[in-house]
Structure 1
């Protein structure tokens, strides 16, 4: 069994690919977005619809960058908490001796 660090090194840990929201509204919202896209595809010219898709792709890229920054920040905060917890453990153990 590989360690977490080995799996990370070999690119086997990809949280963004494995996260599926568990909120029961997620699938309903996704369905509604798909339906809306279909409606706009019928209403708009091919050029206008392509522009809409390009704008939505830019929005998706922006949201992905934000999600990445949020993940990194959360991970860093968690690591700092672990450092603080470890330091407190050492202080507690030293106080017992």
Structure 2
């Protein structure tokens, strides 16, 4: 199993901006077939060093993670939007 974690720092970290991003990330459920787990969390600490949103996804294999990266819904809708609204994005991918 491959776990893919992405932390997003939004340009517009208002409740509205965070909710819109969260809903879009969650909309991948059922649309991106290789996703085995999808979790989206909103930061509750709200410190200067905090990310605003955390995305945790799981895949059966590295090949499935790579297919997810270029999946039309993920690449053209979700990732494109997130790039446009984020000031910083960091990711980590690991087996386990």
Q: Same fold (TM over 0.5)?
A: no
| Greater helix content | 1
Kindly indicate whether structure 1 or structure 2 has the higher relative contact order, using CA contacts under 8 Å at least 6 residues apart. 2
Pair member with larger Rg: 1
Greater fraction of residues in strand:
2
TM-score by length of 1: 0.28
